[in-house]
C-alpha cells in the first residue's frame, strides 16, 4: 500500500512536470524576451475593417510556409504572441489577393521549447507538410538545432527572434536572420549612452558595470558590454552575475553600490528585474543611468509591479509603438487584445519578407520553390515599405540579408542594418528616447527611481 501511495505521488509530480512542459529555468530559454507591451490605450479607430477578420480574396493553390515556435511549455505565452503576429500578416496578405491569387498558408509546429521535439517537428513540416520555407524558432538553442535540419533539406529559413551571435556563423546557405543579434543590442545601448553624453555636458558616463543572470544570455551580455565599453573608451568595472530566478539580490545590489558605475547595464528576466528594482530601492541604490536589454523590463507585468520605482530606467527593444505603425498597432490590439510587441512585430515582418520574395519570384515568372526562394532572399532588398503592404514597422528602413564580420564572428545572411530603439519609463509610461530624431521625449537624467 505504501508503495502504491508513493507511486501515485511520484506519478502526479511527474505528470505536473509534463503538463508544465518544462521547468521554467532553462539557460537558453527565451532567446531574448523583449516583449514591449506598451500599456497605452488604443485610440478609438474609425477604420471600418478593424477588429473584423478580413476575408481572403486569394483562392488559388496555397503556398505553404512552416512556423516553428514554442506553443506549449513555459514559453507558450511568447509563442502565442508571435503566432498572433504571423496570423495578422497572413490575413492582410491574403485579403489583398495573396501572391497572384495564391494565398499564404502557415503550418505551425510546436517545439515545446526543446531541441529534440523541435527537430522532429521541423522534419514533419518539411517532409510531410511539404512547406516551401520555414520561420522560427524563438530560442537560440532550439534554432541552432532546427536550422541545421533546414540546411540539410535545403529549405530556406528565416529566424525572426533568435539573437545568439553564433547562429549565423556556421556558413549555412539557407538560414537567414532578421533579428538584431546580442552584439547589436549592446552596441545600440552603448550608442545611446555615448550620444547622450555627447549632447549633454552635465552627463558623465565614464564607467559601466553589468548586472545579469549567469545564463548563456547574461554571460553574452557581460562579454559584449565589456567589448563595447572598451571600444567607446569607457571603463568596465566588472559584472555581478546571479542565478536566474534569484530569491534575494541584496548582496548583488550592495556589490553594485560598491562598484558605483556611472551607468549600470542590466539584463534580467522579468521576475529578477522586478526583484532587482525593488531591492535597489530598498538599499537606496540609484545609479545615474540604468539601461536594460529589453528582456524582462519590457513585459507588461514589470511596470505593473514596480510602478514609479521604474521611472528613469532605460531599455533597448526591437519595436516601439510609433507613427510608423500606429494603424497596425491599433488593429492588432483590437483583434487580439494584446499589444503588438517586439517579437510579434518581428514575426509579422518576416511573413511580409516571405510575401515580398514570393511576389518577386512570381513577377519574374519563376517557379515558386525553395531553391528559387532562397536565391531571391539572398538578393532581396526591402526599403521603407513592402510592395502592397505597410511600411517596415521595425525601427529601421532597410531589410537586406548580407554577410559580415565583427570582432572575429562571422555573420552570414543577417540583416546587418538592423538596429534597436531605446525607451525610458517616465511617469510610469513607456516613452521612446533614442534615436533622438525619432524620440518622443528627452532622457530623464539622472534617473529618479520614483
The contact set with another protein (CB under 8 A) reads 3-4, 6-8, 10-12, 14-15, 17-23, 25-29, 71-72, 76, 79-80, 107-110, 112, 114-117, 119-121, 123-124, 127-128, 140-141, 144-145, 148, 152, 164, 166, 170, 214-217, 219-220, 243
Give which of 135, 30, 42 is closest to 338, Cα–Cα: 42
Closer residue to another protein, CB minimum distance, 134 or 320: 134
Roughly how many angstroms between the first and final C-alpha of the chain, as a whole number? 59
Closer residue to another protein, CB minimum distance, 175 or 285: 175
CB count in 10 Å sphere of residue 154: 12
Closer residue to another protein, CB minimum distance, 75 or 197: 75
Closer residue to another protein, CB minimum distance, 58 or 126: 126
Closer residue to another protein, CB minimum distance, 172 or 396: 172
* Cis amide linkage into residue 137, ω under 30° from 0: yes
Copy the grid coordinates of residue 136: 522560427
CB 409 within 8 A of CB 165: yes
CA 342, 347, 323: angle at the middle one, nearest 5?
A: 50
To the nearest whole angstrom, how small is the minimum distance from the Cβ of residue 102 to another protein?
21
Closer residue to another protein, CB minimum distance, 8 or 441: 8
Q: In what order do the strands lie in the sheet with 289-293?
A: 235-242, 207-213, 263-267, 289-293, 314-317, 421-426, 429-434
Pairing of strands 63-69, 381-383: unpaired
Closer residue to another protein, CB minimum distance, 25 or 436: 25
What is the rounded CA–CA span in Å between residue 395 and residue 397? 7
Distance of CA 205 to the CA centre of its chain: 28
To the nearest whole angstrom, how small is the minimum distance from the Cβ of residue 26 to another protein?
5
Closer residue to another protein, CB minimum distance, 213 or 262: 213
To the nearest whole angstrom, how small is the minimum distance from the Cβ of residue 195 to another protein?
30
Q: How far is CA 105 from CA 131, 380, 396, 436, in A?
A: 9, 22, 27, 40
CB 271 within 8 A of CB 32: no
To the nearest whole angstrom, how small is the minimum distance from the Cβ of residue 47 to another protein?
30
To the nearest whole angstrom, how small is the minimum distance from the Cβ of residue 313 to another protein?
25
Instruction: Indicate the DSSP class of residue 169.
Output: G
To the nearest whole angstrom, how small is the minimum distance from the Cβ of residue 323 to another protein?
34
To the nearest whole angstrom, how small is the minimum distance from the Cβ of residue 10 to another protein?
7
Closer residue to another protein, CB minimum distance, 28 or 424: 28
CB 24 within 8 A of CB 245: yes
Give which of 386, 327, 392 is closest to 96, Cα–Cα: 386
CB 360 within 8 A of CB 384: no
To the nearest whole angstrom, how small is the minimum distance from the Cβ of residue 143 to another protein?
10
Closer residue to another protein, CB minimum distance, 115 or 296: 115
CB count in 10 Å sphere of residue 282: 12
To the nearest whole angstrom, how small is the minimum distance from the Cβ of residue 363 to another protein?
31
Give which of 195, 390, 400, 420 is closest to 320, Cα–Cα: 420
To the nearest whole angstrom, how small is the minimum distance from the Cβ of residue 319 to another protein?
24
Amino acid at each position: 500500500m505504501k508503495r502504491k501511495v508513493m507511486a501515485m505521488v511520484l506519478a502526479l509530480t511527474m505528470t505536473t512536470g509534463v503538463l508544465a512542459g518544462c521547468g521554467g529555468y532553462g539557460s537558453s530559454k527565451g532567446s531574448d524576451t523583449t516583449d514591449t507591451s506598451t500599456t497605452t490605450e488604443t485610440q478609438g479607430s474609425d477604420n471600418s475593417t478593424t477588429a473584423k477578420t478580413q476575408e481572403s480574396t486569394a483562392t488559388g493553390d496555397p503556398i505553404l510556409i512552416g512556423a516553428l515556435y514554442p506553443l506549449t511549455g513555459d514559453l507558450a505565452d511568447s509563442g502565442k504572441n508571435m503566432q498572433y503576429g504571423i496570423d495578422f500578416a497572413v490575413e492582410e496578405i491574403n485579403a489583398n489577393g495573396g501572391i497572384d491569387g495564391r494565398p499564404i498558408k502557415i503550418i505551425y509546429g510546436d517545439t515545446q521549447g526543446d531541441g529534440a521535439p523541435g527537430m522532429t517537428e521541423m522534419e514533419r513540416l518539411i517532409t510531410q507538410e511539404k512547406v516551401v520555407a520555414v520561420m522560427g524558432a524563438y530560442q537560440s538553442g532550439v534554432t541552432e538545432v532546427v536550422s541545421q535540419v533546414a540546411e540539410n533539406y535545403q529549405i530556406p529559413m528565416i529566424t525572426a527572434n533568435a539573437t545568439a551571435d553564433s547562429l549565423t556563423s556556421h556558413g549555412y546557405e539557407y538560414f537567414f536572420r532578421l533579428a538584431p543579434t546580442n552584439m547589436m543590442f549592446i552596441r545600440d545601448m552603448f550608442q545611446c549612452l555615448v550620444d547622450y553624453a555627447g549632447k549633454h555636458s552635465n552627463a558623465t558616463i565614464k564607467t559601466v558595470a553589468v548586472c545579469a543572470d549567469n545564463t548563456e544570455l547574461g554571460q553574452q551580455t557581460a562579454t559584449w558590454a565589456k567589448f563595447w565599453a572598451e571600444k567607446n573608451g569607457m571603463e568596465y568595472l566588472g559584472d555581478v552575475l546571479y542565478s536566474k530566478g534569484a530569491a534575494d539580490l541584496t548582496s548583488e545590489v550592495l556589490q553594485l553600490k560598491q562598484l558605483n558605475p556611472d551607468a549600470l547595464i542590466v539584463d534580467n528576466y522579468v521576475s529578477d528585474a522586478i526583484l532587482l528594482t525593488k531591492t535597489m530601492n530598498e538599499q537606496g541604490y540609484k545609479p545615474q543611468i540604468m539601461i536594460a536589454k529589453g528582456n524582462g523590463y519590457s513585459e507588461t507585468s514589470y511596470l505593473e509591479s514596480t510602478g514609479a520605482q521604474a521611472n528613469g530606467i532605460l531599455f533597448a527593444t526591437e519595436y516601439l509603438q510609433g507613427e510608423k505603425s500606429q494603424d497596425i498597432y491599433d488593429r492588432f490590439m483590437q483583434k487580439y487584445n494584446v499589444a503588438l510587441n517586439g517579437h510579434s512585430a518581428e514575426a509579422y515582418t518576416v511573413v511580409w519578407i516571405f510575401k515580398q520574395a514570393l511576389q518577386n519570384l512570381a513577377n519574374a515568372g519563376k517557379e515558386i520553390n525553395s531553391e528559387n526562394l532562397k536565391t531571391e532572399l539572398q538578393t532581396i532588398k526591402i526599403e521603407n515599405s513592402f510592395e502592397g503592404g505597410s511600411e517596415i514597422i521595425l525601427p529601421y528602413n532597410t531589410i537586406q540579408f548580407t554577410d559580415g564580420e565583427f570582432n572575429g564572428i562571422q555573420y552570414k545572411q543577417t540583416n546587418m542594418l538592423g538596429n534597436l530603439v531605446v525607451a525610458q519609463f517616465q511617469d510610469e509610461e513607456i516613452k521612446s528616447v533614442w534615436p533622438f530624431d525619432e524620440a518622443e521625449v528627452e532622457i530623464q537624467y539622472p534617473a529618479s527611481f520614483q
